[in-house]
Structure formats: C-alpha cells, structure tokens
Amino acid sequence: MEENHKQGQPPGNYHLEDMVMKTAAQYFGAELLQYLGIRQQVQYIAPTELVQLEARQMYQDFNYELEDRSWLHLEFESDPIRLADLKRFREYEATTSRRYQVPVVTCVICTADVKKIRSEFTEGLNTYRIKVIRLKDADADQIFADIQKKISTSEILKKEDLLPMLLSPLMGGTMRSKDRIRQALGILNEPVIKIEEEELRKMQAVLYALADKLLDEMELQDIKEVIAMTRLGQMLMEDGIEKGMERGMEKGIEKGIEKGIEKGIDLAKKIFRLNEQGETAEMIAKKCNTTEENVRKILEK
C-alpha cells in the first residue's frame, strides 16, 4: 500500500471515493477471492475503519465475514513485508477481534519482487503469522495476449474471460502494474465486451482500487485520467459535485473549500440565481447542464 495508508491515514479523497472502494470490496469478495485460493463464501463486507481510544484511526483494506463467522482481513502490499507491517497487522487483528468479538485471519496479497516474504515473527511467548498470497507464478502478459487475440477475431468476451485480467496487477510478467491497469481499462471499453453496465462499473472499481493500493502518486494520477473517461469516472465527478454543494452550503464559502468542491458551489449559486429570476426547473437544468432532479434537490435545501 501507499505510505499514507501505512501510517494509518486515509487518502485525501477518502470520503469522495468511499463508494468506489466499497463497490470494489464487494465485487472482490463475491467474484475474485476464489482465484486467490480462498474457498469460503463471503457473507458480507465488514467494517474497515477502527477508532482507538487515543483518537487514532486505523484504515484496513478489505474485511469480510466468512460463512464460519470468522473475519478475513485482506491487505495489499507492493513492498517487501517488514516487521513493522506485521506488527501493524497484529494490531489490526487484535483491535478488530476485541471490538467485534470475532476471530480474524489476515491475508496479505504481496506483489513485491522478492523470493522470500516474511510472514511471521515471535515476540515474548507468542508467534504471530499471516497468510501470504502471491500470484507471481501467473503470467499477466499471457492473459492480455489471450484477450487481445479474442478481440482481434471479434470473439465475444464474457465475465469469465475478464476476471483473471482484473487480478493482472498482482501477477508476474514484464508489464508494469500501471500499464496492466491502463490496458485492462481500455479492454473493458471494447465493443466485444458483453456484460451489464453495472458489472462493468464494478470491474472498473476493482481496477481503480488496485491502482490506489499498488501505484505511486504519479502513476495513480495517470490512471485517474483514464478513469475520468469511463462511466465510473463520471459517477465520481457527480458524487464530488454533490458533496461539494453539501459542504459549501453547510460551512459557507467564506471558510474556503477544497479544489473541486467549488464547482458544486458555483453550480448551486447559479441554480438559486436562475430560480430567483423565475426560471423553471427544466430551463435551469438545461442552462446548468445538469438534471431536473439535481435542480430540485438543491432548491429544497
């Protein structure tokens, strides 16, 4: 994961993109855990945010309740696992187990290019260990080659053809993780892809989540530009504008707001101004390039 995650801090856009991460977690649990060798069925997505007594927040990647009522704590690591990481996982497990009264097992998907990965340590009388999952033996290059071959012959691609591709950033191969995610997003836009739009957004969400957890800041920015052109990206932008309007109205423009939120405030101001001029909701929506539903929501606040 990125360093800010390792220090127990949420990413700066945590609240804005929480919906996408939850979508990715749900899809990961429902469709992709079997590819990682986890056979138990996921019952539901469990909380990932813990607040300690010293007012410190800890953010985990994905938590799942399994059919035996235990919890699976899934983490992503692109660097070699260090002693500090193991102690952090142990703290997560202890806090989660105590708070929710459940047994917890941590599985770490590690993409570090090292032969041996540290998975346990002994301290005092106790030995703590995690389960390490590695897909380095799988060849991402071959997966993309097979998919491109099908695309070149106009063969219809279904969900089953695409699921391994979603895990390609975790696999071995010569392509960089960023290039795999970028190429996978491009493939999801191919006309031979025959899946429902909701399913497509979930797949895009998984790729976005992996980018957020595996790439550095510059690489992630590049992927965000690609995501912005997808339906998922449009949803993110709409969500950001809506939250911007809410925050702007609550806190007031004079207090200053984050970049991107100003768009929502400007839109709200324009809608109120046109409404005062006697414009109908339909006309306001056309002039503001938004929907009548959004116009009515803003005017009702």
pLDDT mean over 265-273: 73
* DSSP state, residue 57: E
Confidence band of 235 (pLDDT split at 50, 70, 90): low
Which two structure tokens, joined as six digits, stand for 31? 């469709």
Confidence band of 122 (pLDDT split at 50, 70, 90): very high
**82: phi then psi, degrees, rounded to nearest 5:** -100, 170
The count of structural domains within the chain is 3
Share of the chain above pLDDT 70, in %: 72
Burial of 9 (0-12, 13-18, 19+ CB in 10 A): middle
Q: Specify the higher pLDDT residue, 84 or 36.
A: 84
Residues 234, 85: Cα–Cα separation, whole Å: 35
**Which three-class secondary structure state does DSSP give residue 132?**
strand
State which residues form the domain around 213: 135-229
Q: Quick one: 129 and 140 in the same domain?
A: no
Residues 18, 10: Cα–Cα separation, whole Å: 10
Residues 118, 123: Cα–Cα separation, whole Å: 15
Q: Quick one: 72 and 129 in the same domain?
A: yes
- Residue 10 CA from chain centroid, whole number: 12
**Highest mean pLDDT: which of 2-16, 27-41, 277-291?**
277-291
Which of 105, 133, 161 is at the close of a domain? 133
Give residue 252's pLDDT. Answer: 47
Which of 229, 248, 272 is at the close of a domain? 229
Q: Quick one: 11 and 123 in the same domain?
A: yes
Confidence band of 213 (pLDDT split at 50, 70, 90): confident
Q: Quick one: 100 and 153 in the same domain?
A: no
Residues 271, 258: Cα–Cα separation, whole Å: 21
Q: 21 near 209, Cβ under 8 Å?
A: yes
Give residue 200's pLDDT. Answer: 85
Residues 223, 8: Cα–Cα separation, whole Å: 24
Q: Quick one: 295 and 219 in the same domain?
A: no
Q: 277 near 262, Cβ under 8 Å?
A: no
Q: Quick one: 129 and 163 in the same domain?
A: no
Q: Quick one: 244 and 168 in the same domain?
A: no
Q: Quick one: 128 and 63 in the same domain?
A: yes
How many Å is the maximal CA-CA distance in the chain? 75
User: Taking the CB of residue 6, how many other CB atoms lie within 10 A of it?
Assistant: 14
Give residue 56's pLDDT. Answer: 41
